Amino acid sequence: MASQASLLLQKQLKDLCKNPVDGFSAGLVDENNIFEWSVTIIGPPDTLYEGGFFNAIMSFPPNYPNSPPAVKFTSEIWHPNVYADGCVCISILHPPGDDPNGYELASERWTPVHTVESIVLSIISMLSSPNDESPANVEAAKEWRERKDEFRRKVSRCVRRSQEML
């Protein structure tokens, strides 16, 4: 018997296939595992990431949508809100409830109303507007603030590499 999580994920995948959203594509890593998705995010226009094709894996927990998925870029990406290992750090991917560090409001964190589409659109927004006040990658955040030319150079290299991987 299919779980509530797997039924919801099947519906979201079907909806995305029927009505694709500009800026990304999504599918399953393995057709037998609805809990692991492959996502390609197209670098948003008018940003440093424009023209890039960044691949990521979304791993959903068995109790989705009550808990958020983990999102990890498999493409190289230089960004203040992406850890060196590719894991994305944005508020809506943090567990629901109060932030133990007191930085985020509970309303900014995960809620079950989020969908794959809203998650990926939030990641696209993150690419457009990095949050350097709460960085996952401190070095990238410092460059973003203090050495924009160096930051741009590293992002351009990531964009070029992503294009070569097509």
Domains of the chain: 4-164 (3.10.110.10)
Q: What is the DSSP letter of 69?
A: P
Extract the tokens encoding 155.
Answer: 């992002």
pLDDT, tens digit only, all 166 positions of the chain: 579 999 999 999 999 999 999 999 999 999 999 999 999 999 999 999 999 999 999 999 999 999 999 999 999 999 999 999 999 999 999 999 988 888 888 889 999 999 999 999 999 999 999 998 889 999 999 999 999 999 999 999 999 999 998 7
Whole-number CA gyration radius for the chain: 16
Instruction: Specify whether the CB–CB gap between 8 and 65 falls below 8 A.
Output: yes
Q: Which of 17, 87, 89, 158 is catalytic?
A: 89
Do residues 152 and 48 lie in contact, with contact meaning Cβ atoms separated by under 8 Å?
yes
Token pair belonging to 72: 């990890």
Query: Can 89 be counted among the known catalytic residues?
Result: yes
Q: Which pLDDT value is given to residue 1?
A: 58
Assign 37 to helix, strand or coil: strand
